[in-house]
Amino acid sequence: MSSEKECPPIDLSTKTCPNREQRANGVNVFFGKASELVAKARNGTLCNRERQFQQSSGCVLNFYLTVRIPTIRDAAVVFHAPVGCSSSALGYRELYRGIPPALGRPEKFDLQWITTNLSETDVVHGASGKLATAIKEAEQRYHPKAIFLLTSCTAGIIGEDLEGTVAEVQPEVKARVVPVHCEGVRSRLVQTGYDAFWHGVLKYLVRKPTKKQHDLVNVASMLSYTWQDRLEIKRLLGKLGLRVNFVPEFASVEDLEQLSEAAVTAPLCPTYTDYLSRGLQQGYGVPFFLYPSPMGIENTDGWLREIAKRTGKEKEVEDLIREEHAVWVPKMKKVRDEFLSLKGDGTPLSVLGALGQGRLLAQTPYFHELGLKPVAAIAQDFDNLVLEETEQLVREHGDFPILINTFQAAEQAHLTHTLDPDLTLTCPFQGTAYKRKKGMTRIHALRGDALPTSMQSGYAGAIACGEFLLRSWKAKSFQQTMAEKTDDPYHPWWYQQPNPHHYVPEEPVRNVSGGTP
């Protein structure tokens, strides 16, 4: 793939990874045709612009790391931060506890983390002593095999020497100390947090392979895949005689150490898996692929075949696909036929939805499988890692408008108002951004949702998600009540703007005499 050639090699001699903006020309502000997005990325003119109005933003630390790394079973986390930066972990302890142990969630589930509780005094005088004390306290309190140090904006602003403190303290603790540079201010793209974590894992935890486990498949799963998705992936690969090394949720430190011994690294999301995959291939020869993701019947077929190529299971996978198709393809046809009957004339319902760029690539073909017509897509980021795949998407499914933003509810409301699709999908973090009587529902569940109806991966997930979207179209009483009982959160002038992004006006170029050329 072109993306493999364009990405610089993983350099583990550095303290951390490059920002996603530097490594892959990542942006999170764009509106236009997908073909225009690709063209700008190709010729190097794709760049972020500043908004005049912004409601929220993702955080490199809090969006991803705070809620997931503490679940690593025999590890502890030290947040080198003011106490509020660790607050998200509190809610996620309760969320994960909603997964019953009968489904495989470890019965002993205590999030092992502490915070250095940085203060104004620490900002002035530094807090390396506080960090060293916290590392030793984590060792004494939890006896972990690894201690992850997660940095905050404050730690980054004062220039804390993380590696210097680790070098000083490591001889005094048994746990392997893993610095992760995830300061919220370092990048506009939360995806940089993924890379920063995997950089730390590759540099400090992954061991040189003592053996090759030819039946082991690394699967790095992102936040929006549920426990039932995990079970479906395990079921399918198990029928091929393969074992799954799921990381990072509820993984052990041993699971992270043996990433180098796997037969292949397979993606549930190319954006999330990319840095880890490249690092494992570069350092240990572990093959990988980034596309497709197992969402929808066709994509699941392709995902399984890519794994089979690298594990010597080509014959077995074709037998598996035939067996699964016999069960699930008739169910998919039933869902598709029902969608196509909803308007009475056989025309498809229009749908607006996407989230990360990985879901953009997987979800658009899946909508077509369901008999839906995507009128546009929304993705929280875009970078050169998926450039070739996005070009292929346009070739196969036609051009479409695309809005790149990170959890900007007003911008999604603008696009929804303008296009007025039959069905709108929104991220749970944005809520119902736009009150409407037509279909609106969440685009995905959160990790702790253990209901089979929330599954989206594999063959079972393709049907479960399709049936969920059908129910959301039929059961619109909540949307109708909200539309009738609440005011629109945005002034009418907002919807009259020609672009969902309310840009800061670009300054005219002036010559040295002060005039405008």
Average pLDDT over residues 344-365: 87
> Quick check: 374 and 352 in contact, CB under 8 A?
yes
Please choose, from the candidates 383, 442, 340, 274, the residue with its C-alpha nearest in 3D space to the C-alpha of residue 47: 383
Res. 30: pLDDT tops 60: yes
CA-CA distance, 430 to 416, in Å (whole number)? 14
Q: How far apart are CA 287 and CA 193, in angstroms?
A: 23
Flag whether pLDDT at 515 surpasses 80: no
pLDDT tens, position by position, 37-89: 999 999 999 998 888 887 777 788 887 788 889 889 899 999 999 999 988 88
| Average pLDDT of the segment spanning 460-486 | 87
**Residue 356 and residue 390 in contact, taking contact as beta carbons nearer than 8 Å:** no
Residue among 169, 86, 81 at smallest CA distance from 127: 81
Q: Which residues contact 202 (CB under 8 A, 6 or more apart)?
A: 10, 12, 276, 279, 280, 283
What pLDDT is recorded for position 512? 41
Distance CA 351, CA 434 (A): 15
Q: For the segment 153-179, what is each residue's pLDDT rounded down to a tens digit?
A: 999 999 999 999 999 999 999 999 999
Asked if the model's pLDDT at residue 283 lies above 50, the reply is yes
- Name the band, by pLDDT with cuts 50, 70 and 90, for residue 516: very low
Closest to 453 in 3D by CA, of 389, 81, 444: 444
> Could you tell me if 290 and 273 are in contact, meaning their C-beta atoms sit under 8 angstroms apart?
yes
Gap between the terminal Cα atoms of the chain: 43
Rounded to a whole number, what is the largest CA-CA distance in the chain?
Answer: 75
Q: What is the pLDDT of residues 470-480, one digit of tens each?
A: 988 888 787 78
Q: Which domains does the chain have, with CATH numbers?
A: 61-186 (3.40.50.1980), 326-495 (3.40.50.1980)
**Do 275 and 2 meet the contact criterion of CB atoms below 8 Å apart?**
no
Min mean pLDDT across 251-255, 312-316, 401-405, 509-513 is at 509-513
| 11 and 195 Cβ atoms separated by less than 8 Å | no
Percent of the chain beyond pLDDT 90?
Answer: 60
Q: Find, among 208, 361, 395, 207, the residue nearest to 272 by Cα.
A: 361
The alpha carbon of residue 189 and the mean position of all alpha carbons in its chain are separated, in whole angstroms, by: 11
Of residues 455, 69, 88, 22, the one with CA closest to residue 268: 455
Average pLDDT over residues 451-480: 90
CA-based R_g, the chain, Å: 23
Q: List, in sequence order, every beta strand (DSSP E) within 86-232.
A: 113-115, 146-151, 176-180, 216-220
User: What pLDDT, on a 0 to 100 scale, did the predictor assign at position 3?
Assistant: 42
pLDDT above 70 (res 5): no
Q: What is the pLDDT of residue 98?
A: 81
- 176-180, strands of its sheet edge to edge: 113-115, 75-80, 146-151, 176-180
Per residue in 394-413, pLDDT tens?
Answer: 999 999 999 998 878 888 88
Tokens 């074709």 correspond to what residue?
318
Burial of 285 (0-12, 13-18, 19+ CB in 10 A): exposed
